[in-house]
Structure 1
């Protein structure tokens, strides 16, 4: 219910969608102890009502219209009631869980596919967001899972309100034709007919979390961060841009949740109809003494602390970076008004009442918060061990103990007496080796060093330039194009057509010792300097191209591209790792080795002959902030640095032992 209210507020207040064009079904309990909903039966998210609203939306929307469907709730898995269509008696139906599931049935994948197909056949430009998952389980910390555990075998009604079984079978065949079949845990097959943004990959979990610890309101992670980027109203934003943003924000906080994108990812969000507008709010007051401003926006539209705005003079229509006069960061978010601190840009006029503020990307947290979980630890040794970690955190500039704001890490002791560092959902981070137990010398100091290392690694992982006014926006193309079992670099780069494609291009997977090939294309009118960094599962950040320590970048002229081979490997003792290639491109010169980190537990030293040196330009100053011994600021906002001269893209690949 909370998510849907925020989505509705965005549609009506920001995008100005008339209330008459919004169909909404919810299920809200008046009493936490009661399951009785407050909605009347016609407004309740029952199976029959969901199907009816889908059909009503299809009927009322004219051909060529934009249609947006948002589901925020539980997903489930049940024994199929369509074995002939699925081809197996023991097949599983994925589905959405209606409010009347106790006496009704799921909205099953086959039915949802049919409803969407009818929209497409009418010529509707359809976008679907599913903030749910199809598996459940227990979590630690403050996060909850949006799924029903196990496979439901309860006998349920067989009659579909969507279509006849013959019609459902025909549509399902059309949707799955030419695919490799439906992967377990995936609600819908890949289709270019519509865009589908799902909360997580098959067999992963979709979390909801109290992002605002003060108010205690819980939101789905996908919906929360999706609205965060949609509020920016950045021109030219594509669904692939959104997926990149969501991956950085969600996956670094909830390691078991990786948002999925299916369909035409390069399509602009909501088409071109909304592609050029900016959502600007007004500076209501200026407090020159405390260098603060009051703006007429707040939590009513989902705003939160640490969100940043670019400030422009009153009356200006060109919201490019050159016209910015300051950057404001929210420190007190009220219902409809918020106080912000202000950083005036050099050689720009001061901020005045009635100036305009345009929402920017949320800052990347540098200082991160940790919760020391002692709920199951009762022996004096265990209590003392966590207290030692607490003491070791005193005066640390990167990690602080939890407050009323969201936590990033949980530290606890497991049944074997080993320290565990977990994400905010309580999932232990992998590959933190060797294990640290109660008897390990300097155990607390080691745990604190690992927390600092993780904070720096994840800040580098999340670093992005989302300034759509930059001429480099969407001009850098980065993709894995294929793999080879055997390859000799002396033979030169093979033709792309000779490479073996990945089984799933959206989630490429390969085996150790194979060669994979990365395509980097410069679609901008400028010559770009390009460097590629490897973000390894051993928590190291290393420049891998150009690899020579004395080389900072390669030069790629406008319209040109380079195919770069990489040989995959796994360290001893590892069976699977997720590797990330992060590509940076700049118009000017920059040394991206400022971001380099060694493997975890290795001494943190500057790489690339940077020891004792200072950044040579403002972009390098941005990069060096992430790996400084102590961050100069609590959060990092690329908007405060020249954004028209650099961009970055990253791609991942799962590496398995052969």
Structure 2
């Protein structure tokens, strides 16, 4: 893993703060922590042992608790190696001098803070998010605020460095103390009391070893995660925990003691990878979440970054485009004795009773020669499911562990399959010849056991089917809809080219998957989230939105259009009419009493499903009670007319929606079509999730 002489170098900045230096009176407001320096030792050992990094390329800034004196005033580290404000900023600045293309990893374990803004001219009522250096109580209360972090990160991006940032600290600004929980890191209070320091000291609580790493660091607290990747320990309403880990039974080479749940799970996941240059962060984050939730059930790590790339851990942003692997289910819990496997997908993701899944040991994937275990689903809830092993004697392969992937092998007999029929072309081609290809395709379809469609047989000609296949005299297959009219934007399949049955099946897989996703939410039931939220189109404009400049992650909280710039638009038969290059302004409101998590998708008429907000694989936007978001989307059309649907999906808890995305069907054959177990959803709504749709028709004129 070590770089070649001509290749990019790797550099790491590791910051861990257990001990916060008290003021001149021996007082401190932030309680000391216990596992942050352990985190740094664990990360440094991994980088050297597994990634071949030279110790000289790793900068460690740590503040350690002494074991022999509870009331000492300084950490034992040399002053140049302490995580003071000046030392942290200098370390960032030194990284900006590295060669373009080099790889930079930054890891912070310690307290985070939310405090009254220091930038009153921008927004006097806003809160600043900050990291808390070890010397926060001396030198005038020296936080490192979000605006400063943004500037430091931007310098690294501008220097053409490939940056991965990990923050193992809280993102919550709630008032909960959580002192009763063992090993919970953080503070959680905001102190609005003015102090003489230029940066107000917040969160005054009594020192305790049972604490969480606290205050609010929003998912977009620094930048829009543009040009770098950012892993956060938890969402803004959760707490980052540290736990006692023993040497026995772990795969991290960690010593016994407290570690951050995120840091420990990150290294545990990376240690299990057979090839660190292969799995992208977007896949690793799923495994990390599962492991973190095992230690801390109310903590959900998130990944922010450019969703159009899939880089490996500590890798380059120039790496290949992402292969959509998010549709795979993951093992959440294993009961070896009972032969039961728990999954991190449920009704919301399309899991159905009696469906069968192949579970692959460790981090193996289909096609890698690994033996799989077949699990039949016997219990499904909104966001999770459970199944029993049906292969062999019902026992689980010992290699099947937390994070193992599961892919659909056999659809449930309860599943509503799309029916596909055939249309005789009425050309000079004999009916007998047409019957040959029809029968050939029927037999091919029967050999497939994981599709959500099948060939209709034994039905009357008057029966309405979902799709029809028609072959022209020239050997071109057309795909027709329920009304036997040719579907738009479907790539042609040629009878005499390649394996045409596979090509037809790939198209049918794609469009039936798209249809299943579209049907999500068409039959609302009581007791869902619709009553506490709203999603609406406020209007359209030719001008681009002008979001206010705010450094607190609240840019989307304000309407970016003032005066009469925004034109009110009314739907025609449920469809809003736009012209090309117009912007639509959408508003999402949470009028309930608890937070929800928002994700926006665009269902395009090229049979594509694309996440439009927020950016980042596996991410969603937490919208707290009483908050709203203003989201402007530009609608473009190269020619003719296009009909798109903007869908807002909300969940009560952070839930991965990566598996819902579909590329344009036009790229189906150029990129391959291994869509087995692809995006799945059901029309029923649960009480933990809800969808809202707005359909836009865009024309050139």
Scaled by the length of structure 1, what TM-score is found? 0.45
Point out the structure with max Rg over C-alpha. Answer: 2
Give the helix-richer structure, 1 or 2. 1
